[in-house]
Structure 1
Amino acid sequence: MADDTARNYDPGLVLDLREQPEGGKLPTRGELRGRQQGLPRPECVVLVHGFNNHTGEAGERYYGFRIMQCRHFGGEHGDMAADLERLLGDAFWPGDADWPGPLDWLDALVYPAAVHTARDAAALLADLIERIPGLVRVHFVAHSLGCRVALETLDLLWASGRLAIGSICLMAASVERDDVAPGGKFADLLAALGEAGSEILVLHSRRDKVLRFTFPLGQSLADEGFLPEALGLEGPPPGMPGRVSERRIAGANHGDYWGHQDNEPSRVATREAGAFLKLGERVREIRARDPEAARAVGAARAID
């Protein structure tokens, strides 16, 4: 998959919150990049990777997600990959460390700092999203600690009121269940989003060793509760506000959600995410609404 990503991953829109490809701090201001970053798009599905992914690893995950969506919903249209680029926006944030190769395993030690980076990244990501030309409605697919980035960003976007909030898919969420329970940190946001018609899908797995063992300790060290339970491990707490649905992904480990791991949990997770977001329908709407642009974009690199 890594070789295929290097050859074929060419995102139409990048929301870049990194100063360097691996490790580093958040920049003063984010940057919109990509082949189509100047093109207006009324809707955008923002993809947010999780903890401990450098730029190449995050790109591999985003590329895997595209491949799976084309397999699930592409039908006989070989140009779905090109049309997807008019819908997706890939966010990159520094939730990793820059250790020498043999010490990469030490990245787990930066988790407490990454929790705070996830929180601080929200203002930059919200600003970038609001700068996307022509944007009316934003959706999210987030994984792991990227779910914290997404929720913090949604809090700011909702307060701003400039954009409509669509569907939100949280995969293996490194978010405390107490934070999304009644009275929790995000309870008011979730209730407001639900009243506005936004829907949330929680994909979770009790086989997730990262969320079972690493998450509680990391959150405690980050002063974010004492040995809390993860949303992505146990699923939504009783009474979670909003229009929330869930799906347990049988046998899924923490990295089995984006599609770059070609296994059954990954296939199920990507199919659930794509169906929830109605990606096939949205791509067809894009093609019908603007066929000339669809043909132009179709000349770009395609995914086999």
Structure 2
Amino acid sequence: MPTAVNELSVRESCVEAGGSVVSVHFPSDSDTLEGKGAAVLFVHGYNNSRSAAKGSFEGFVAGLESASGRGSLPWPVFGVQWPGDEPNAAISAASYPLKIKVAQRAAEKIFEHLTGIFGPGGAPIVLHVVAHSLGCRLTLELLDKLARGTPGANVIISSVTLMAAAVPVGKVETDGRLRRGVDSADRVCVLHSTGDAVLHWAFPLGQTAGGDGFFPTAIGRFGGPTGMWMRATSMSAEGNLYGHSSYWQGAESASTAAGFMGVAVANTIPLSLTPSHALPTANTMAMRTVSERRLPR
């Protein structure tokens, strides 16, 4: 049975786009994190409506299942919904500078929720996080809060996969404000691309306009800081570098994320790459005539 995508939301209830950050809630048709031994969180980026984010999450689950060759994933999946957009499309596209603080507030609300829940028998909940774009900023803000050791945060971050991370490199360097959170996670993987025009052109302008740096470089562009991550992979498909919106739908990103989370990835070899080998000619035995001999009586 295909893996269902549950919803962990800090959007206002029944709001498709925009709105304020609210406390964590789960729709009536969704499971909750309480009592889970392990779970996967997907975090969407800036300028995603609720339905658009849900579609991205469902597509990525299908990619993970395809990469692993299994009908369902070993853990429940929760798509994090947060108001990183606006109802008006034109305003939403230009609202990035305002959404940095929204991502920070969303991280605070999710942190508050995590401090009050437990795994089976009061054990910690083990989380795998896959985030995209400004959702990576939300994720790193959350890790920073968890790393401060606030009592009650019964969560272990087993793996984090950052895709096209819209986070300044300086935030996670040795003296960066978010470095502690990165170091607290067991494993962090960065999927990046120099073909990402959004991170190349729009990100430095948006960060500067939002008062969060001066034309900084995004982690998701070159995968920096060099040597910091357990894994940093430049993403491409059929020789074409990934664009900013390639990650949720990309088979390559799904396969990389699955392997990093610890899901066994099926090894497949395209038929076009399978060498053909002709069978050797069958060995034949030479025949010769043997004269008849009679035994003496």
The TM-score with structure 2 as length reference comes to 0.78
- For residues 53-105 of structure 1, the C-alpha deviation after alignment (integer angstroms, 9 at most, x for no partner) is 00000001000011111111134xx3x1xx55x42111000000111xxxx24
**Are the counterparts in 1 of residues 161 and 190 from structure 2 also a CA contact under 8 Å?**
yes
Higher relative CO (CA 8 A, sep ≥ 6), structure 1 or 2?
A: 1
Of residues 144, 154, 166, the one that matches 2:158 is: 166
2:49 — aligned with what?
54
Of residues 175, 198, 211, the one that matches 2:167 is: 175
1:4 — aligned with what?
none
The TM-score with structure 1 as length reference comes to 0.77
Alignment partner of 1:118 is 2:118: no
Whole-angstrom distance in 2 between the partners of 1:131 and 1:218: 35
Residue aligned with 1:227, SS: coil
2:243 — aligned with what?
253
Moved more, 143-152 or 272-281: 272-281
1:284 — aligned with what?
none
Of residues 185, 194, 218, the one that matches 1:230 is: 218
Alignment partner of 1:215 is 2:203: yes
**Are the counterparts in 1 of residues 114 and 154 from structure 2 also a CA contact under 8 Å?**
no
**Are the counterparts in 2 of residues 51 and 114 from structure 1 also a CA contact under 8 Å?**
yes
Of residues 25, 40, 46, the one that matches 1:45 is: 40
Residue aligned with 1:32, SS: coil
1:16 — aligned with what?
9
Alignment partner of 1:277 is 2:279: no
1:32 — aligned with what?
26
Of residues 93, 114, 117, the one that matches 1:108 is: 93
**Are the counterparts in 2 of residues 15 and 128 from structure 1 also a CA contact under 8 Å?**
no
The amino acid across from 2:187 in the alignment is E
Alignment partner of 1:70 is 2:65: yes
Whole-angstrom distance in 1 between the partners of 2:260 and 2:55: 22
**Are the counterparts in 1 of residues 143 and 184 from structure 2 also a CA contact under 8 Å?**
no
2:272 — aligned with what?
none
**Are the counterparts in 1 of residues 169 and 225 from structure 2 also a CA contact under 8 Å?**
yes
TM-fit CA distance, 1:169: 0.4
- For residues 86-133 of structure 1, the C-alpha deviation after alignment (integer angstroms, 9 at most, x for no partner) is 42111000000111xxxx244221101111101111111122334555
% identical aligned pairs: 31
| Structure whose CA Rg is larger | 2
Whole-angstrom distance in 2 between the partners of 1:190 and 1:24: 29
TM-fit CA distance, 1:280: 4.4
The amino acid across from 1:246 in the alignment is A
Distance 1:248 1:239, change over 3 A: closer
Residue aligned with 2:160, SS: strand
Residue aligned with 1:41, SS: coil
Alignment partner of 1:244 is 2:233: no
Q: Which has the higher helix share?
A: 1
**Are the counterparts in 1 of residues 207 and 213 from structure 2 also a CA contact under 8 Å?**
yes
The amino acid across from 2:244 in the alignment is H
Distance 1:132 1:228, change over 3 A: same
Residue segments in structure 1 that go unaligned for 5+ positions in a row: 1-7, 260-265, 282-304
Q: Which runs of 4+ in 1 moved over 6 A?
A: none
1:136 — aligned with what?
125
**Are the counterparts in 2 of residues 37 and 132 from structure 1 also a CA contact under 8 Å?**
no
TM-fit CA distance, 1:268: 0.7
Whole-angstrom distance in 1 between the partners of 2:109 and 2:168: 23
Number of matched pairs: 250
